[in-house]
Structure 1
Amino acid sequence: MIRKYLRLIIAGILFLGSIALFVKALVSLGILILFVSGLFVLFHFKNEMNLFAFYFVRKNKFQSASKILGRVKRPEMMIKTQEAYYYFLSGLIESQKQKNSAAEKHFKKALNTGLRMDTDRAMANLNLSGITLSKRNKKLANYYLLEAKKLDKQKMLTAQIREIEGMMKRI
């Protein structure tokens, strides 16, 4: 529990140090220390391993993203949103490796833990729909697909939703 807030404690100490530097008229050094303390606050809310993994997933380098997520020893010690995105990224990587049961487990855990953005929840539901459809469970796949449609307000996943609907008609 203390580890979660260690970054905030360090940021607070650096912030107080930057104020002391401003008082001593060392403005440029004070600004630099203030910037560093801001980075500690940012990394409290955005885990750097998740950020690096997101970067590699966007570049379609799933092997590198898998290595980076493998460095996280205890994701349950993260803040809940960070933990949710850890499981979301793990689910994406596992689905690319064609390990559907592990991917399904990770996507369900990400949804239960609490993904913040509707698009990410829609993407997780869409992947769960595809996984359950591959297991020939049409009713559950339809449920996940309807959830994905509800959450996809910006219509970013319409092509993938139509593809899953086409697969459902064939089964």
Structure 2
Amino acid sequence: MIGFAIRSFIAAGMLFLTVYSFYTGYWGWGISLIIPLALVILSFIYNENLAFTLNHMRSGNQDKAQRAINRITAPQYILSKRQRAYVIYMQALLNAQSLPHAKVEAMLRQAIQMGLKRGHDKAMARMHLAGICVQTGRRQEAITLLAEAKKMDDSGMLKDQIKMMQGQLQNAPSKNQMRMAQMMGGRKKMPKMR
């Protein structure tokens, strides 16, 4: 919120100086202030940490992408609704190993509800949700999510991963089997014969 207020004051001040320079006849100063003003206004439209994250993800550097996306702490104050959806989506994907499954699932569902723009992003979010559902024993929900992901993958980028997950779903234990294994304390090992 403080960063947003500072950027707002800087943008308003620069806009005033630019208009005043043109009004008083200092065209050189007015023209030279247009580029910094455009950069400040662009920072309202597109967050620099989100740009760094996408750039690092394209180059394959997951650690730097994770650090850049985790720098965005309060996206509701500085970003539009669609950009907030992408920030939450990227945070869920990049922090999936360190966060609990319930938190990642809530973040992905929130990103889907807020509205991801691209079809393959919607498909990727549903595919990750299906993976979480498989791990928690919700097989039917995972099948539904994978079917939705298959429909939304308009470019066919995730076709192989979806097929692989559908194959793994055949071998996944059901919720009842997982519950029985927990009640039995897991698989008991037989004592070795001497």
Q: What range is the shorter-chain TM-score in?
A: 0.7 to 0.9
Q: Which has the higher helix share?
A: 1
CA offset at residue 82 of structure 1?
Answer: 2.2
Q: Write the mapping of 1:72-87 to structure 2, written as runs, cut at 5 A.
A: 72-78=72-78, 79-87=80-88
Structure 1 partner of 2:136: 135
Q: Say which one has the larger Rg.
A: 2
129-138 vs 85-94, which moves further: 129-138
CA offset at residue 139 of structure 1?
Answer: 0.9
Q: For the residues of structure 2 that align with 1:129 and 1:7, how far apart are their CA atoms?
A: 40
Residue identity opposite 1:136 in structure 2 = G
Q: For the residues of structure 1 that align with 2:5 and 2:118, how far apart are their CA atoms?
A: 24
Structure 1 partner of 2:156: 155
After TM superposition, what 4+ stretches of structure 1 lie above 6 angstroms from structure 2?
A: none
Contact 1:100 1:131 in 2 (8 A): no
Consecutive unaligned residues of structure 2, counting only runs of 5 or more, are 173-194
Deviations, residues 31-77 of structure 1 (Å, cap 9, x unaligned): 44222222222221211111112222333333322322332332332
Structure 1 partner of 2:122: 121
Change beyond 3 A, Cα 1:76–1:15:
closer
Q: Write the mapping of 1:19-168 to structure 2, written as runs, cut at 5 A.
A: 19-21=19-21, 24=25, 26-27=27-28, 29-78=29-78, 79-95=80-96, 97=97, 99=99, 101=101, 102-168=103-169
**TM score, norm. by length of structure 1:** 0.79
Contact 1:54 1:89 in 2 (8 A): no
**TM score, norm. by length of structure 2:** 0.71
43-52 vs 111-120, which moves further: 111-120
Consecutive unaligned residues of structure 1, counting only runs of 5 or more, are none
Q: For the residues of structure 2 that align with 1:88 and 1:164, how far apart are their CA atoms?
A: 20
Contact 2:70 2:91 in 1 (8 A): no
Q: For the residues of structure 1 that align with 2:154 and 2:5, how far apart are their CA atoms?
A: 35
Q: For the residues of structure 2 that align with 1:37 and 1:119, how far apart are their CA atoms?
A: 35
